[in-house]
């Protein structure tokens, strides 16, 4: 009975928040974006009370289900322009309002007693995101463009500073972790969350920031100070390389931030061999863009990074779960990336209007990527067959991508999906060897 009362109180509080913000909009006292962020922050504050009110994730999941159904009803009915105006008056397309209750329920399920991490993740979702958005809209001068739209350096810096505080203070007050370790965690996870916020669009940051930050904290919180410093050093070096070479590559702001997340994940889960393989791909991209005629240079969004990340990080995930040994997972990552770099070369050939995929050059690039796996081969009984199969598969995959990709002048918004699907197809036979 008490649980039902809590649920009713929370739903009433959320409804009241929506109504008050909507009144503010209709009376001209609040701008749409400001009202939306006030609701966002208020919802987060209410959700911070969940560990005190509920013991079972089932209850929170039920509450999230009710919230999603209610928000859908508001979104799809005339209520959208009345009590829903605080969420839906913003012109851009977003599913963030629907993902918010889902991410809170997921967080509560993941927490399982780790409520300091739950609190931190929720503060990043609400407070840091709100401060960053409001600072960017009011003080943003230095603009960068991402798949998510227009962002400002000032807004991202405000998000980073707030994220640092949201991580450091709860850890300092509720744990016995040393201060240097806390500061290192706050820097690394804060930078990660800032990258996700800058890169993610359509409200996806409402899911990716809290869940990604929770998992990252949960994974790193048990590491020693030296290990943490090494990890954050890797993160900062990757960021420095991507920013320093920004005039040499054609990645937009969102792609740079996504590449930072991807490369950091590869280095964290796969170590130096996987990091070296990623650097080979980046160097190849820079060389190609330097040789590209000026009138043919195009900007690349985060879509291409996602296409590379899905089939390659799949291997490292299998290693983390213990399905594969770490060395096997790293070798699989590198082999997948070797196929992808050849397909990227074939795609460039098609874009430039050449009559073939230049398979020999593509295979040579694959070999360069595979060289980063040398330190792993001694632990792999079937490494020769794995490498050979990778090079054999590279040929039909690259040729298929060349044929499948549209010519220059014919827009191809699904090119990244084609690359991803072919890479997953090539990964499957390799997976059978390891399993």
Per residue in 292-322, pLDDT tens?
Answer: 888 777 777 778 888 899 899 989 988 877 8
Q: Which residues are 146's β-sheet partners?
A: 149
What average pLDDT does this structure show over 80-102? 60
User: Percent of the chain beyond pLDDT 90?
Assistant: 25
DSSP assignment of 127-191: IIHHHHHHHHHHH--SEEEETTEEEEHHHHHHHHHHHHHHHHHHHHHH----HHHHHHHHHHHHH
Residue 86 lies in a domain: no
The string of pLDDT tens digits covering residues 140-157 is: 778 776 655 677 888 889
The string of pLDDT tens digits covering residues 28-69 is: 666 666 677 777 788 888 888 888 888 888 888 888 888 888
- Residue 88, pLDDT score: 47
Average pLDDT, the chain: 83
Residue 312 lies in a domain: yes
Residue 369 lies in a domain: yes
Q: Identify the H or E element spanning 303.
A: helix 302-320
Cα Dmax for the chain: 72
Q: What φ, ψ does residue 145 adopt, rounded to 5°?
A: -110, 140
**116 and 171 in contact (C-beta within 8 Å)?**
yes
Per the structure, the count of domains in the chain is: 1
Spatial separation of the C-alpha atoms in residues 32 and 36, rounded to whole Å: 6
- Residue 345, pLDDT score: 94
Q: Is pLDDT larger for residue 18 or for residue 82?
A: 18
298-302 contacts at long range (C-beta below 8 A, 24 or more positions apart): 298/250, 299/250, 299/251, 299/252, 300/250, 300/251, 300/252, 300/255, 301/146, 301/147, 301/252, 301/254, 301/255, 302/146, 302/147, 302/199, 302/252, 302/254, 302/255, 302/257, 302/258
pLDDT band at 409 (very low <50, low <70, confident <90, very high): low
Residue 416 lies in a domain: yes
The first and second tokens of residue 127, run together, are: 């407070």
Residue 147 lies in a domain: no
**234 and 275 in contact (C-beta within 8 Å)?**
yes
pLDDT band at 78 (very low <50, low <70, confident <90, very high): low
CA–chain centroid gap for 126, Å, is: 17
Q: Is pLDDT larger for residue 237 or for residue 82?
A: 237
Residue 382 lies in a domain: yes
Domain of 380 in residue numbering reads as 283-435
pLDDT(91) > 60: no
Contacts (Cβ under 8 Å, ≥6 apart) of 290: 248
CA–chain centroid gap for 256, Å, is: 11
The first and second tokens of residue 356, run together, are: 């073939």
Q: Is pLDDT larger for residue 89 or for residue 332?
A: 332
Residue 261 lies in a domain: no
- Residue 93, pLDDT score: 47
What average pLDDT does this structure show over 109-135? 86
Q: What is the dihedral of CA 133, 134, 139, 140, to 10 degrees?
A: 20
Residue 298 lies in a domain: yes
């Amino acid at each position: 009975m008490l649980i039902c009362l809590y649920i009713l109180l929370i739903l009433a509080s959320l409804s009241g928040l929506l109504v008050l913000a909507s009144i503010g909009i209709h009376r001209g006292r609040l701008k749409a974006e400001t009202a939306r962020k006030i609701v966002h922050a208020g919802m987060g504050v209410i959700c911070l009370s969940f560990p005190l009110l509920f013991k079972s994730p089932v209850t929170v999941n039920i509450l999230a289900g009710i919230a999603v159904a209610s928000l859908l009803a508001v979104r799809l009915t005339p209520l959208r322009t009345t009590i829903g105006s605080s969420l839906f008056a913003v012109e851009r397309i977003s599913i963030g309002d629907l993902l918010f209750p889902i991410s809170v329920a997921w967080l509560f399920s993941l927490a399982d007693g780790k409520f300091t991490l739950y609190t931190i993740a929720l503060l990043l979702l609400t407070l840091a995101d709100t401060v960053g958005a409001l600072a960017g809209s009011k003080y943003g001068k230095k603009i960068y463009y991402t798949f998510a739209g227009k962002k400002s350096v000032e807004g991202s810096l405000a998000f980073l500073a707030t994220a640092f505080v949201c991580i450091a203070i709860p850890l300092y007050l509720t744990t016995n972790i040393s201060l240097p370790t806390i500061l290192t965690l706050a820097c690394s996870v804060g930078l990660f969350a800032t990258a996700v916020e800058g890169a993610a669009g359509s409200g996806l940051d409402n899911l990716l920031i809290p869940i990604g930050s929770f998992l990252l904290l949960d994974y790193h919180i048990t590491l020693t100070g030296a290990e943490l410093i090494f990890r954050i050093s890797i993160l900062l070096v990757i960021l420095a390389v991507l920013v320093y070479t920004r005039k040499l590559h054609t990645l937009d702001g969102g792609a740079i931030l996504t590449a930072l997340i991807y490369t950091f994940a590869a280095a964290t889960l796969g170590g130096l061999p996987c990091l070296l393989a990623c650097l080979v791909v980046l160097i190849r991209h820079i060389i190609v863009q330097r040789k590209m005629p000026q009138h043919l240079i195009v900007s690349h969004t985060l879509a291409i990074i996602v296409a590379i990340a899905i089939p390659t990080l799949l291997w490292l995930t299998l290693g983390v779960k213990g399905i594969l040994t770490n060395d096997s997972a790293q070798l699989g990552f590198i082999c997948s990336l070797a196929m992808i770099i050849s397909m990227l070369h074939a795609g460039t050939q098609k874009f430039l209007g050449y009559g073939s995929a230049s398979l020999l050059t593509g295979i040579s690039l694959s070999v360069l990527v595979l060289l980063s796996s040398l330190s792993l081969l001694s632990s792999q009984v079937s490494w020769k067959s794995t490498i050979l199969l990778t090079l054999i598969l590279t040929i039909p995959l690259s040729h298929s991508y060349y044929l499948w990709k549209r010519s220059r002048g014919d827009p191809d918004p699904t090119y990244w999906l084609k690359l991803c699907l072919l890479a997953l197809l090539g990964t499957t036979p390799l997976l059978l060897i390891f399993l």
